[in-house]
């Protein structure tokens, strides 16, 4: 009688070790954003190379252009909708190369996403500040975002995505 | 003793589920459609086939400014896979994939490549031909082989340079073939022959047999005989060109230079030869792979070149 009970206990122990971790995900990190596109699908992303994480703003637009500034430096707003427009946080098992990972016609193999949080709502505002000549700073701020993942929800009223320089042709 | 043995057996069974290396000896993509998406780079195209039953896919990515799915290539495009910008990749996945796996701006977070073969050399040949062409006049192309010799291109009733199977108006009488067919007899699909002379209206330049060619019964000269009924009355709603009682004529009309639209099926055919994959894939049987073809339908206008 004792032995089956022991085996049973071991099995329970063995099965039960994977769940119930306390997740502490910090989605904020500083890195210079980059961009890419395929047709009308755009991605502005930043990568934390130390911790193999990325945050990307994926959106579809017929007016946005990576190296253009709207007339009178007007801001552009993108409403996150969970389908074509999303903000995605990812943790990878290994280092990624942004240029090979985003907007790749053939996705890279061998990279595994170990954690993913997606915001399906919120509003991204892309604004422009002239620096000199045809160089501008593009700043992306996303408001009212809720990053959701398995068993986790992070709400940020104002999420500072970051700024980078663009040069118009 | 017995228990220990059972336990070891169970442990062995548990760990043996991971079946190690997968050896791929041939590709099985014959039954799936060839797909195309536009890559992020300029003039980049990705052809791919997904076999959902094996969670596998093969892709061919290349850059060519010459390739357009609806432009016939006089000479095939030849791509050398050993040169940087192109790739031929076979992959097996942990799950089934959909077409948006390729050419998407952000990769799926759930799909994992469990096996990959990359071609390090090979020659790809891309051809674009016209597979079929049709005037959509409701007569199947094969029934427009008037002389019955099996060649559709030498049947040009009106001699306008466009063979009947591509000609929307086979007799150039400015009444389209598609509206000259219906004979109004229930259950009878024969093409209409108004004057009963044995030549159906769509091939007959004088539909009503009154001696005035149909094209000249366009009294108002607007390019269509289908709105001219000079003896219209309560009992007569028959247009002049179908009414032997009317023999007025207008000689200032000529065949409409339009009516030349055809539905063209452009076919892209991709064959890859002399493939060598990376790694130790000595088991691989074929060094040639045919991607098959992909059809695109497009309407275009032909040029009339009267004989």
Domain ranges of chain B: 2-132+265-296
- Contact state of A39 with B39 under an 8 Å Cβ cutoff: no
Q: Which pLDDT belongs to residue A54? A: 96
Q: Does A66 touch chain B (CB under 8 A)?
A: no
Q: Is A1 part of a structural domain of the chain?
A: no
* Distance (Å, whole) CA B254 – CA B306: 13
Query: A62 — contact with chain B (CB < 8 Å)?
Result: no
Residue with tokens 């000249």: B216
- Assigned token pair, B97: 């994939």
Could you tell me which of B226, B224, B267 has the C-alpha nearest to residue B243? B226
Q: CB of A166 within 8 Å of any CB in chain B?
A: no
In a domain, A93, yes or no: yes
How is residue B210 written in tokens? 């009154």
Nearest C-alpha in A relative to B105: A103
* Cβ separation B87–A38 shorter than 8 A: no
Question: A57: closest CA among A91, A80, A26?
Answer: A80
Asked if residue A138 belongs to a domain, the reply is yes
| DSSP-derived secondary structure letter, B142 | G
**Band of residue A2 on the pLDDT scale cut at 50, 70, 90:** low
Whether A16 is in a domain gets the answer: no
pLDDT tens digits along B191-219: 999 999 999 999 999 999 999 999 999 99
| CA distances (Å), origin B80, targets A60, B42, B43, B49, B62 | 34, 19, 16, 20, 10
The rounded distance, in Å, linking the Cα atoms of B151 and B162 is 14
Question: Under a CB-based contact definition with an 8 Å cutoff, are residues B29 and B58 in contact?
Answer: yes
| B268: its two tokens | 């892209």
The number of beta carbons lying within 10 Å of the beta carbon of residue A88 is 19
The total number of structural domains in chain A stands at 1
Distance from CA of A55 to the nearest CA of B (A): 11
pLDDT band, very low/low/confident/very high, at B20 (cuts 50, 70, 90):
very low
Whether A111 is in a domain gets the answer yes
Tell me the C-alpha to C-alpha distance, in Å, between residue A130 and each of A141, A164, B265: 17, 12, 51
Residue-level length of chain B: 307
Q: What is the DSSP letter of A16?
A: T
**Closest Cβ–Cβ partner in A39, A102, A111 for B106:** A102
In a domain, A18, yes or no: no
CA of A90 to nearest chain B CA: how many angstroms apart?
8
Q: What is the pLDDT of residues B224-279, one digit of tens each?
A: 999 999 888 888 889 999 999 898 999 999 998 888 899 999 999 999 999 988 87
């Amino acid at each position: 009688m004792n032995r089956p009970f022991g085996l049973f206990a071991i099995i329970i122990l063995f099965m039960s070790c994977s769940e119930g971790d306390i997740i502490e995900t910090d989605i904020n990190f500083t890195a210079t954003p980059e961009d890419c596109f395929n047709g009308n699908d755009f991605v502005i992303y930043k990568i934390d190379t130390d911790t193999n994480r990325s945050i990307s703003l994926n959106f579809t637009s017929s007016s946005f252009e990576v190296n253009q500034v709207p007339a009178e430096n007007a801001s552009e707003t993108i409403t996150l909708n969970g389908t074509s427009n999303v903000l995605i946080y990812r943790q990878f098992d290994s280092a990624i190369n942004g240029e090979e990972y985003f907007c790749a016609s053939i996705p890279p193999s061998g990279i595994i996403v170990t954690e993913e949080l997606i915001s399906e709502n919120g509003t991204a505002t892309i604004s422009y500040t002239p620096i000199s000549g045809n160089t501008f700073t593009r700043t992306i701020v996303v408001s009212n975002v809720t990053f959701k993942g398995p068993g986790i929800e992070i709400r940020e009223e104002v999420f500072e995505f970051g700024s980078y320089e663009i040069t118009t042709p | 003793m017995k228990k220990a043995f059972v336990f070891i057996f169970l442990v062995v069974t548990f760990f043996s589920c991971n079946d190690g290396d997968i050896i791929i000896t041939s590709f099985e993509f014959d039954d799936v459609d060839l797909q195309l998406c536009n890559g992020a780079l300029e003039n980049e195209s990705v052809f791919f086939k997904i076999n959902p039953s094996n969670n596998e896919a093969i892709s061919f990515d290349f850059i060519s400014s010459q390739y357009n799915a609806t432009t016939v290539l006089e000479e095939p495009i030849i791509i050398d896979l050993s040169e940087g910008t192109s790739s031929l990749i076979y992959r097996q996945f942990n799950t089934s994939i959909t077409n948006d796996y390729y050419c998407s701006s952000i990769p799926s977070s759930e799909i994992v490549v469990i096996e990959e073969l990359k071609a390090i050399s090979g020659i790809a040949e891309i051809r674009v031909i016209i597979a079929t062409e049709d005037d959509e006049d409701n007569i199947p192309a094969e029934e427009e082989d008037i002389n019955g010799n099996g060649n559709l291109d030498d049947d040009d009733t009106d001699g306008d340079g466009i063979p009947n199977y591509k000609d929307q108006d086979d007799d150039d009488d400015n009444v389209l073939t598609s509206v000259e067919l219906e004979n109004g007899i229930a259950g009878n699909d024969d093409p209409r022959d108004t004057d009963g002379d044995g030549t159906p209206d769509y091939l007959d330049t004088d539909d009503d047999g009154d001696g005035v060619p149909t094209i000249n019964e366009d009294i108002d000269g607007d390019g269509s005989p289908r709105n001219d009924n000079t003896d219209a009355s309560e009992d007569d709603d028959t247009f002049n060109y179908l009414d032997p009682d009317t023999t007025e004529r207008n000689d200032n009309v000529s065949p409409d230079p339009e009516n030349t639209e055809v539905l063209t099926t452009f076919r892209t055919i991709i064959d890859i030869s002399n493939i060598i994959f990376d790694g130790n894939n000595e088991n691989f049987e074929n060094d040639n792979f045919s991607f098959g073809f992909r059809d695109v339908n497009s309407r275009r206008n032909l040029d009339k070149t009267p004989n």
